[in-house]
Amino acid sequence: MSRFIDGEPMRSKVAVTTAKTYDEAERAVEEAINLLGGPEEICTSKDIVMIKPNMTSPREPDTADLTHPAVIGALVKILKKTGATIKVGEQAAWNFSTEEAFEVSGIGKAALEAGAEIIDWRKDKRVAVEVPDPRRIQVVNFPLSVMEADVFIHVPKMKVNYMYASVTLAIKGMLGLLDNKDRAQYHRTVADMAWVTCDIAKAIAPKHRLTLIDGITGLEGEAHCGLKVYPGVIVASQDMVAVEAVGSAIMGFHALESPGVQLAMKAGLGTGELSEIEILGKTIEEVRHPFKRPLRRYVSKWKNVKEYIGGACEGCLVTLTRTPFIVDPNKTYAIITGNRVFVPDNIKADEAWLIGTCAVQEDHQSPGFMEKIKDIKTIRKFSGCPGISALHNQYKRSLTKGTPYEIPDQISIDGVILLPLPDFVRKTAREGAEARREGRMTLEETMKKSINERWGF
């Protein structure tokens, strides 16, 4: 059978071990590393090692959304045996405090007790690094502490992600190396996300020595607010492409389904061909645990909200479930996004929301578009590209004053919760998001809840 990418076959090794609970994490992590040749294959006594977990927000360990602290603590202990200097660095996403995330997640405590230093990349200086053979970005601004390290280790969580069309593992997780202010522009399409994460992976590749996936628990249906599952696996490799391919296969996805795997293969970062990968430890068949795929809704649940689209990209399409911010049952809404949007001659609505640059600019629409909507009493325009960034930080506007969406990024959080089909997210998460959208939850009530409760855990 023809190879997916022209060229000579590659050979890589991926270790797969099992653990029923996090009490067994250290044993499973050590077993996986030993199958790959031991910690000496990863670092030496002279090395500074930077470990990156997946830690997007201040959430409790058992939410299954973040790398579990037991895995980070185990990895630090094992690598410390070489005499290397170990650091654990990360930055919380959105407007969350990294310091709080280290504390609430337990990652900070686990790392410190195991003998590592923890670093908040939000406070770190940034260093411009040229991307070799760039395809989406020319330069990546990496944290200084990452560039000062000799070895980079990535420890992603096993979960799915709609915006990446499949899984969040080795390649997509590289987005966390970007400064938060640079991320939003790449949440536009699946291709944008894949191309930029592959460029980041190329830039960090000279330092990359290990990717170890925490799959003892995971999230299916959607990232952050999906359903907790128990695959019971640790998957590790020095080949970041092969480890994602094997992780994907365990999750019930085709190994080449991730666009990032395809791009990374073409860039020569590793192989996604299962026939070229030697599986050490458990076989894929022994540990296969199919995840619910990230299936999204395309229409608002509220019948008084009608959607009109043209050639909208994914970034604008996700706004359909995010607007309006508060759904008044006594009003009717027209949500308009994309270019050359069809609207009927007799369109009727109390409010029209024009989302994204294409919808806002008259020269992006068919002749007569503005004339058709001119009689709508309230027209709200949100320019920006992609549409998701047009809504980002809208809590600063008087439009959200006094509502739960005055809280930074609550709009984005609830948008993620309401994006998948109802059966694919936790019921409590969906109910909370719907209560805010319908004005049944006050600002004070939302502020009293912890981040875990706001996400529905």
**Boundaries of every domain in the chain:** 12-287, 305-455
| pLDDT exceeds 70 at position 392 | no
Tell me how far CA of residue 335 lies from CA of 20, 61, 189, 400, in angstroms.
46, 38, 20, 18
| pLDDT exceeds 90 at position 401 | no
- Do the beta carbons of residue 297 and residue 321 sit within 8 Å? yes
| pLDDT (tens digit per residue) in 88-117 | 999 998 889 999 999 999 999 999 999 999
Measured distance CA(227)–CA(337) in Å, rounded: 30
Q: Record the tokens describing residue 58, joined without a space.
A: 């201040």
pLDDT of res. 396: 57
Average pLDDT over residues 305-310: 96
Q: Which of 372, 371, 311 has its CA nearest to residue 337? A: 311
- Do the beta carbons of residue 53 and residue 88 sit within 8 Å? yes
pLDDT of res. 315: 82
Share of the chain above pLDDT 90, in %: 75
- Cβ-in-10-Å burial (0-12, 13-18, 19+) of 275 comes to exposed
pLDDT of res. 188: 77
| pLDDT exceeds 90 at position 393 | no
pLDDT of res. 105: 97
Q: Which long-range contacts (CB under 8 A, 24 or more apart) does 362-368 make?
A: 364/339, 364/340, 365/310, 365/339, 365/340, 365/341, 366/340, 366/341, 366/342
pLDDT of res. 334: 97
Give the pLDDT band (50/70/90) at residue 432. Answer: very high
Give the pLDDT band (50/70/90) at residue 412. Answer: confident
pLDDT of res. 301: 94
- Do the beta carbons of residue 417 and residue 220 sit within 8 Å? no
Q: Is the model more confident about 157 or about 315?
A: 157
| pLDDT exceeds 80 at position 390 | no
Give the pLDDT band (50/70/90) at residue 397. Answer: low
| pLDDT exceeds 60 at position 394 | no
Among 120-129, 267-276, 441-450, which stretch is predicted with the lowest mean pLDDT? 441-450
| pLDDT exceeds 60 at position 236 | yes
| pLDDT exceeds 60 at position 201 | yes
Average pLDDT over residues 443-448: 88
Average pLDDT over residues 231-255: 97
Q: Record the tokens describing residue 191, joined without a space.
A: 């291709």
| pLDDT (tens digit per residue) in 120-175 | 999 999 999 999 999 999 999 999 999 999 999 999 999 998 776 689 899 999 99
| pLDDT exceeds 90 at position 234 | yes
Bridge partners of residue 153, in order along the sequence: 51, 210
Among 20-34, 345-359, 382-396, which stretch is predicted with the lowest mean pLDDT? 382-396
Average pLDDT over residues 75-81: 98
Average pLDDT over residues 389-410: 74
Measured distance CA(433)–CA(316) in Å, rounded: 20
Q: What is the mean pLDDT of the chain?
A: 92
CATH architecture of 12-287: 3-Layer(aba) Sandwich (3.40)
| pLDDT exceeds 70 at position 329 | yes
How many alpha carbons fall within 13 Å on the CB side of residue 221?
A: 23
157-166, 309-318, 322-331, range with greatest mean pLDDT = 322-331
pLDDT of res. 48: 98
| pLDDT exceeds 80 at position 387 | no
Among 179-193, 283-297, 423-437, which stretch is predicted with the lowest mean pLDDT? 179-193
φ/ψ region of 445 (left if φ > 0, alpha if ψ in -120 to 50, else beta) reads alpha
Give the pLDDT band (50/70/90) at residue 304. Answer: very high
Average pLDDT over residues 69-84: 98
Average pLDDT over residues 246-260: 93
Average pLDDT over residues 238-252: 97
